[in-house]
Structure 1
Amino acid sequence: MNVSSYASRKPLSSRTPSSRVLSSRALRGVAVAAGAGLVPLLLAGPAAAHVSVQPQGEAAQGGYATVFVKVPNERDNASTVKLELNLPTEHPMTSVMPQPVPGWRAEVTKSKLAKPLTVHGKQVTEAVSKVTWTADGSKIGPGQFQQFPLSLGQLPEKADQLVFKALQTYDNKEVVRWIEAPEEGAAEPESPAPVLKLAAAQGHGHGAAGDEADGKSSDQAAKDDSGDSTDATARVLGVVGILVGAAGVAFGVLAGRRRAS
């Protein structure tokens, strides 16, 4: 037997077990690293998907707004068939109107106010306290979401946000309660309540909007005055033209008579 060939084969066989150990360790390391990276992603997904209230454009203090109640499905084996949205009682709103959504039935519930409100000169003793959407031929399946348009008013004048509380019901009878009010500076709750941010009220006839309107009025007045001056000048020039034309005709007549004589 060739000693050199034997020697060259022996290290290969001796290195094989250690290489297998290293390969298995490397695979385990990759698996652990991948698992460590995937776990936060899996946990972050459902936490970010919750019932929310989003305005169309801007919801201003003291005004009216159209909002969309966004309802995602967080389950893989069940469908959402009902949503109850409770409105804040500390800021009652007298005008709440849901927009029809195909496949869903909307019900508006009113409650007596502890203290009557005066709206547009009329006394109001009750306000909408809850809106319920129930599946009527439709549902929110796994991996889907649904938006429910809602008109709200009159929004409070001295609040920067409205906190709603929502109950989401699945067809397996599970109820998820989105009722935990967020606190400033604290981490987001596990089941946060929907929050509608309110923008500062815009002045009517005052401030930037009023100044802009006044500027437009002044510009229009200047244009009107300029138009009047132009019309007067045109009239004067027209009269002068007529007089010059008449003088020319008279001069022509006289010249003709002189030539005839």
Structure 2
Amino acid sequence: MKKKTLITASIAAGALLAIAAPLAASAHVEVTPNTAAAGSSADIMFRVPNESATATTTKVEVDIPAATPFATVRYVAVPGWDVELVTETLSPPITVDKTTLTEAVTRVIWTSQPGSEITDNEIRQFTLSVGGVPDTGKIELNAIQSYSDGSVVTWSGTGEVAEHPSPVLYVNDAPVAEHDAHAASTSTTDATGAEASSDTLARLFGIGGLVVGTVGVVLSIVTLRRTVTG
């Protein structure tokens, strides 16, 4: 009975973790798709959730590193939101996709109009159309999220345990998700092997128990016959 209760509890805990994991992942500011080929043009979308239960998101800012700029940056209009493209002079100039840039867009600012803020449990999407993706490993597109109560969250963390990880566009580097998937596959393989070994062991114990039980029954019958005969 205890074993059954333990298994049931484990299954319940696993289900809760399975539900909580995607919820935790979806609460991050993310860029999708998170890959682009060097020299190409791409439409990248930032998914911005509102994580406050008492305040709304009023402003979203995305930084584009001046060291790895895009040749062109255009935005897709979002109803109820104003957009500002901030440019910076590049010194020295940078060549991207055979184009020499003396200035580039290094920040995009979306500001909500009254009544268009991102509310609790809502996700808003902001799209940029970029051209001339730089030939680099990856581009960390740090984001700044401002709330109506004056609080600010900076999405610039790196690493798997970052509380507010930076949205990352992978160019030549492999996305982190692929490494995670490989690790998960390895873990699944190990778990399957362990399960198979456990199952084999259980079968052996079962067969052994059956043999012992059969021998016990035979001995009992023999003993009973001897007693009756005696």
> What's the TM-score bracket when you normalise by the shorter of the two chains?
0.5 to 0.7
Q: Quote the RMSD (CA, aligned, Å).
A: 3.2
From 8, 26, 40, give the equivalent of 1:63. Answer: 40
From 121, 126, 134, give the equivalent of 1:143. Answer: 121
- Residue 88 of structure 1 aligns to a residue whose secondary structure is coil
Q: Find the counterpart in structure 1 of residue 60 from structure 2.
A: 83
From 172, 175, 179, give the equivalent of 2:156. Answer: 179
From 132, 149, 169, give the equivalent of 2:109. Answer: 132
TM-score scaled to structure 2, two decimals? 0.61
- Once the two structures are superposed, residues 45-73 of structure 1 have per-residue CA deviations (whole angstroms, 9 ceiling, x without a partner) of 446511111129x6211111110011011
Over 3 Å counting, the alpha-carbon distance change for 1:122 and 1:167 in structure 2 is: closer
Over 3 Å counting, the alpha-carbon distance change for 1:38 and 1:87 in structure 2 is: same
Q: Find the counterpart in structure 1 of residue 171 from structure 2.
A: 198
Over 3 Å counting, the alpha-carbon distance change for 1:140 and 1:197 in structure 2 is: same
Q: Find the counterpart in structure 1 of residue 72 from structure 2.
A: 95
Counterparts of residues 37-76 of structure 1 (less than 5 Å): 45-46=23-24, 48-55=26-33, 59-76=36-53
Asked whether the 8 Å contact 1:49–1:74 carries over to 2, the reply is: yes
Asked whether the 8 Å contact 2:96–2:134 carries over to 1, the reply is: no
CA-CA distance at 1:144 after TM superposition = 0.6
110-119 vs 148-157, which deviates more? 110-119
Letter in 1 for 2:161: E
Residue 84 of structure 2 corresponds to residue 107 of structure 1: yes
Asked whether the 8 Å contact 2:47–2:126 carries over to 1, the reply is: yes
Structure 2: runs of 5+ lacking an equivalent: 1-11, 174-230
CA-CA distance at 1:197 after TM superposition = 2.0
- Residue 131 of structure 1 aligns to a residue whose secondary structure is strand
Over 3 Å counting, the alpha-carbon distance change for 1:88 and 1:39 in structure 2 is: same
Letter in 2 for 1:188: V
Over 3 Å counting, the alpha-carbon distance change for 1:139 and 1:133 in structure 2 is: same
Asked whether the 8 Å contact 2:142–2:155 carries over to 1, the reply is: yes
88-97 vs 98-107, which deviates more? 88-97
- Determine the C-alpha separation between the residues in 2 that align with 1:188 and 1:48: 15
- Determine the C-alpha separation between the residues in 2 that align with 1:188 and 1:170: 24
* Structure possessing the higher radius of gyration over alpha carbons: 1
Asked whether the 8 Å contact 1:94–1:126 carries over to 2, the reply is: no
- Determine the C-alpha separation between the residues in 2 that align with 1:60 and 1:52: 18
Q: Indicate the percent of aligned positions where both proteins have the same amino acid.
A: 36
- Determine the C-alpha separation between the residues in 1 that align with 2:163 and 2:153: 11
- Residue 76 of structure 1 aligns to a residue whose secondary structure is coil
CA-CA distance at 1:199 after TM superposition = 6.0
Over 3 Å counting, the alpha-carbon distance change for 1:92 and 1:102 in structure 2 is: same
Residue 154 of structure 2 corresponds to residue 154 of structure 1: no
Over 3 Å counting, the alpha-carbon distance change for 1:76 and 1:89 in structure 2 is: same
